[in-house]
Amino acid sequence: MSVTHAIVLVEVERSAMPTFGGILADLEGVQEAWSVTGDWDFVAIVRVPRHELLADVITAQLLQLPGVLRTQTMVAFEAFSRHDLDAMFSVGG
């Protein structure tokens, strides 16, 4: 089964900051939610069984949450873990 992964950056109104992370993490399809520093306030890791379902998670659910100012979605093509990278670059190991 092919799973679609997306990383979603989220900026929210200051008043939404205290509760937004928990609300974001509870959305169907959101596997992880992080509060972060920088230009964005939260990062969500979204996993859905079909890429068509991204619209439901992001447009129909996430963008409708109170306090959302903007988002940026990046669909992942390929995942690499530390283990995979170590094995790829090890020499004679």
**Per-residue pLDDT tens over the stretch 6-53:** 999 999 999 999 999 999 999 999 999 999 999 999 999 999 999 899
At residue 15, the 3 state secondary structure works out as: helix
Looking at residue 19, its pLDDT comes to: 96
Phi and psi dihedrals of 87, rounded to 5? -65, -40
| Structural domains of the chain ordered from first start | 4-89 (3.30.70.920)
User: Of 45, 48, 39, nearest to 70 (Cα)?
Assistant: 39
Tell me which of 85 and 57 has the higher pLDDT: 57
Rounded-to-integer distance, Cα 87 and Cα 93, Å: 8
